[in-house]
A and B are shown apart, each in its own frame.
Chain A
Amino acid sequence: DGGITQSPKYLFRKEGQNVTLSCEQNLNHDAMYWYRQDPGQGLRLIYYSQIVNDFQKGDIAEGYSVSREKKESFPLTVTSAQKNPTAFYLCASSTLRPGDLRGRRQETQYFGPGTRLLVL
């Protein structure tokens, strides 16, 4: 049963602590993404990776770090430098194959269930 998983569902962070959010996919997707969502707001891109051992900053990368050592995994670390980490974090993945022009289909993003990070 293919899909994308995130753990834990809830995470508590103490001041000055780094915490790592897990994201795993078995969809054989090349690209993976991390988004942050604040209450009542849309999603904002933190980091994305198109291939193993490569990743790029999104709009709000400050205070976060990522790694992409395996195709299936894209963990996000919320560092102590992130002063307002309380949010809902969403991981997504997508393929990067060229679009099927005949069928006019393009890649879509598949999202995990999310991790809610709270500060103690």
Chain B
Amino acid sequence: LAKTTQPISMDSYEGQEVNITCSHNNIATNDYITWYQQFPSQGPRFIIQGYKTKVTNEVASLFIPADRKSSTLSLPRVSLSDTAVYYCLVGDMKGSSASKIIFGSGTRLSIRP
């Protein structure tokens, strides 16, 4: 069971690039890395998922080094609406392994004007 460690909170300003790093030293071969975003009083929303190297979509980029023991979520040019809690999850979503996916406390990102 891969445990993740991420900063409790981060602050940044509008227009800046924000990088949130997650450590997962015990990641298994079959594990994927997934990031979710949660606004207050809402359910988490999928942002991005990757296995190795770099993944980019219209919202964010995910950088995963060769050893896969950490990953970095990169949010380009953040705005006030990016203020949310960001969760890093590591695991195999198939079958019974899905039950072992753990949402930790996440990183509370605050964006200032």
Contact = CB atoms under 8 A, between A and B. Distances in A.
A63 interface: no
Interface residues of B, number: 26
21 contacts: A35-B103, A41-B105, A42-B105, A42-B106, A43-B44, A43-B103, A45-B101, A45-B102, A48-B99, A50-B95, A50-B96, A98-B94, A106-B92, A106-B94, A107-B98, A109-B101, A110-B46, A111-B42, A111-B44, A111-B45, A116-B41
Interface residues on A, range: 20 to 34
A31 B101 CA distance: 13
B41 A108 contact: no
Nearest to A116: B41
Contacts of B44: 43, 90, 109, 111
A60 B11 CA distance: 32
Interface of A: 31, 33, 35, 40-45, 48, 50, 56, 58, 88, 90-92, 94, 96, 98-99, 104-114, 116
Given A43-B87, A48-B99, A111-B44, 4 more contacts: A40-B105, A106-B49, A108-B34, A108-B49
Interface of B: 32, 34, 36, 41-46, 49-51, 87, 92-96, 98-99, 101-106
